[in-house]
Amino acid sequence: MHNNVVGTCEFMCPTTEIQMRERENLLHTFEVLESREKMKRPRADRSKAVKEFTRSAAGRSDPRPSDLRPTSVLVKTVDYLLERIVPKQDVKWHKIYDFVADRLRSVRQDIVIQRLAGPEICLVFIKCIRFYLYAAYRLCEVPVSLFDPHLNGRQAIECMKASLLHFSSLEVPLLAELQELESLYLLFNLGSLDALMHVYESSADVRSCARVQLALAVNETYLAGNYVRFFRLVKKLHFLDLCAVHRHIPQMHNLALNRMSVAYNSKIHGYPMEHLRPLLMLDSTDKVAELCMRHNLLVKEGQIYFLKAAWKESGLANPVKWIFCQEKDRKTAQTSMQLVQLLLIGGSTAVS
Amino acid sequence: MAHGTLADYLSELQAVIETKEGLLAAELLSFKHPHIVNPRLKIANPETQVERYFDPPYDEMVAAHIRAVWSISNHDFIEAYGCQTIVVQSFCKALQSQKDENWSLPMLFALCLDLRLFANSADIQLTKKGRGKPGETLEKAADILMGAFRICASDNRAQSADSKKWGMLNLINQLFKIYFKINKLHLCKPLIRAVDNSNFKEHFSLSQQVTYKYYVGRKAMFDSDFKGADDYLSYAFQHCHIMSRRNKRMILIYLTPVKMLLGYMPSVSLLQKYDLLQFADIVSPVRQGNLLQLNEALIKHEAFFIKCGIYLILEKLKIITYRNLFKKVYLILKTHQLSVDAFTSALRIMGVDDIDNDEAQCLIANLIYEGKIKGYISYQHQKLVVSKQMPFVPLTSLK
């Protein structure tokens, strides 16, 4: 029989931890009292200190209730992180990411240890997922030493899988958020049979909504190799859905050129770069040329010479902030307020 | 046996084990047998009595079996599963010590079957209580079955007739059922390899082989090896006992889409015979190249196809449908230089409203890439130039 520990910590960070970190000078710059910032041993600002993630070590005794935060505090913590820390302009965003990702992980740990459940927890999860996916897009051009998309991806997937279980055990379903979750899950795991089967096995009112139907359509074009329709549909995605599918776009570029190198195979006739550019949503003909040359396809005078024999497999290019993505970003998450709304409620308009 | 005392039961079981009558012992330990409902056997702590009749490891095994009977009478599958793991593990100790003999294999089969069935029910009960992840118990059961499997597979010493290797296929089939249920098909691979490497392969009983090939065929489908899937599933269908209508239908559910992808459409009479007319709604639009109708049919029978896990395979029929439509265009225009406009128009006529030349070319490009059309696209002239000889490769000849 499991007796769930019930957390009693009223603050975003347990007192014992604050005291320890003050003593050992382990406070984060985001957590210190401003007036004291220049002192050797800064003091914590109670309203800013957030519980860190620490691995539960084997042999360590069970956490005390005073170290665990109940649901209401976890909700406040997540909202604080997304409202106050994420939109900060005075720090490089990958540093913001490190802090927020760590603190969110600690939030999720408190949830697991206390076996918390219910609608507020579901909303906590979905806010975390929105953060991870947004981060995946925002930091896609940052060197891997500063931001590791694989680690972020793993956190996102872990969170998605946990969410799906939590959402499915709600007595009163959170339909809009579930539709959003299924859509993000499918797109982030584009081409995955598991994710697809999951969506098909979900209830009709989840599956039949416009958002999930669009995600399914994108997935279908991906599996079918229909690169023309793929990009046409991707353009229509909600910004968060775009963030989710973003990492799979290079694969589609690769596939398109591969198919075309066979189908348009010709030693004499070329294919105009400027025609291909918008089909693949690339920023310029220079970028088209770059991609072609990666695969050893000859480019001359604005024409691509698709030659089956010349085609060379090449590792996938990293996804970047293509112009069409930046445009969507500008429309949805340009201002701090917009960004915060995106993460807290999924955007300024209701999820369609 | 539904009425005797515990002593009656224990002495009978002891006797058949002593005389190495594997089948009878198996019955007395199986939950299909009437002794399960005997109220005198519903004992929570039978150890003392059991120890009078059995030495280790059988004492543990039988005591756990009785405790399982007790748990089942309380509808506690979680507890029953726990007891059954002890039954199987104790039995395996005995099995391992039996050198050069395999009389007890029927016992192994019965115990493992119940283990799997209890695990299944335990998972359902646990999920209802909000404990544990779905499929967790089944996964644990699979680990135990693997242990039993290894005992059988590693029996290299005995003569053919006495080898425990004869137990392999039964256990593999049980493991397959679990792996398919928990959606971890990749775990089937080492088992398939073990069978391929064994020289007993062709000599297992027909029913075992049919079950085996059914699962291997389904796995091949999953891996998009449609030729392989066709071989295995066809074997299973042909050799499945004529009276097992339900099994034959199950095989056909998977064999039909595979055949269709290879270009063989099922007859309506066959589908009618096995109550699978859902496929009939698919066959016609695929043949005619009617995408809209195909989509409608897929949606109409969505629930059935999803439940059987073939929805995604059927989606692959879309490319066959495009191919059939494009072939019609070719046959109508009677030239080997086909304007892309013609294909775009054909798709529009078939209900794909928002298609344009670029997308039509993309669909054609995919068909060329997959070897279904022999030709190339000229962007300059906006034409598909096809080979003068059999440009639309017959589906039945493709791999």
User: Which among B193, B263, B206 has a CA at the least distance from the CA of B239?
Assistant: B206
Is-contact A342 A163, C-beta < 8 A? no
User: What would the mean pLDDT of A194-202 be, rounded to a whole number?
Assistant: 83
Nearest CA in chain A to B306: A200
Q: Is residue A194 within 8 angstroms of chain B, CB to CB?
A: yes
Interface contact flag, A228 B362, Cβ < 8 Å: yes
Tokens of A336: 């701090």
pLDDT band for A197, please (50, 70, 90 cuts). confident
Residue A57 has pLDDT above 70, yes or no: no
pLDDT band for A1, please (50, 70, 90 cuts). very low
Tokens of A324: 């069409």
User: Which among B98, B83, B89 has a CA at the least distance from the CA of B46?
Assistant: B83
Residue A148 has pLDDT above 90, yes or no: yes
User: What would the mean pLDDT of B177-203 be, rounded to a whole number?
Assistant: 88
pLDDT band for A199, please (50, 70, 90 cuts). confident
Interface pTM, i.e. ipTM:
0.90
Q: What is the mean pLDDT of chain A?
A: 92
Residue A350 has pLDDT above 80, yes or no: no
Sign of the CA dihedral running A73, A75, A81, A83: negative
Any idea of the CA torsion for B274, B280, B283, B289, to the nearest 10 degrees?
Answer: -170
What pLDDT is attached to residue B75?
93
Lowest mean pLDDT among A165-169, B25-29, B311-315: B311-315
Is-contact B388 B382, C-beta < 8 A? no
What pLDDT is attached to residue A37?
55
CA A335/CA B176 separation, integer angstroms: 54
Lowest mean pLDDT among A33-42, B29-38, B133-142, B368-377: A33-42
> A329 vs A220, A335, B332, CA distance in Å?
25, 10, 48
Classify residue B374 by burial, with Cβ atoms within 10 Å: 0-12, 13-18, 19+. Answer: middle
Interface contact flag, B365 A258, Cβ < 8 Å: no
User: Which among B309, B152, B342 has a CA at the least distance from the CA of B218?
Assistant: B309
Q: Is A54 left (phi over 0), alpha (psi -120 to 50) or beta?
A: beta
pTM of the complete model beyond 0.90? no
B386 — phi, psi (to 5°)? -105, 160
What pLDDT is attached to residue B183?
84
Nearest CA in chain A to B310: A197
Q: Is residue A269 within 8 angstroms of chain B, CB to CB?
A: yes
Q: Is B263 left (phi over 0), alpha (psi -120 to 50) or beta?
A: left
pLDDT band for A2, please (50, 70, 90 cuts). low
User: What would the mean pLDDT of B224-228 be, rounded to a whole number?
Assistant: 92
Nearest CA in chain B to A2: B131
**For a pLDDT cut of 90, what percent of chain A falls above it?**
79
Is-contact B209 B201, C-beta < 8 A? no
Q: Which chain A residues are closer than 8 Å to B364 by Cβ?
A: 263
Is-contact A348 A341, C-beta < 8 A? yes
Nearest CA in chain B to A307: B376
Interface contact flag, A263 B380, Cβ < 8 Å: no
Q: Tell me the pLDDT tens digit for each residue of A240-299.
A: 999 999 999 999 999 999 999 999 999 889 999 999 999 999 999 999 999 999 999 999
- Report helix, strand or coil for B384: strand
List, in order, residues 6 or more apart from A126 with CB less than 8 Å away: A163, A177, A180, A181, A346
What pLDDT is attached to residue B201?
78
What pLDDT is attached to residue B133?
79
CB atoms within 10 A of CB A127: 22
Q: Tell me the pLDDT tens digit for each residue of B276-307.
A: 999 999 999 999 999 999 999 998 998 899 88
Residue B24 has pLDDT above 60, yes or no: yes
Q: Which chain B residues are closer than 8 Å to A163 by Cβ?
A: none
B180 alpha-carbon distance from chain centroid: 6
Q: Tell me the pLDDT tens digit for each residue of A83-142.
A: 999 999 999 999 999 999 999 999 999 999 999 999 999 999 999 999 999 999 999 999
CA A143/CA A200 separation, integer angstroms: 37
pLDDT band for A352, please (50, 70, 90 cuts). very low
Question: Which tops the pLDDT comparison, B383 or B126?
Answer: B383
- Type of residue found at A347: G
Q: Which chain A residues are closer than 8 Å to B385 by Cβ?
A: none
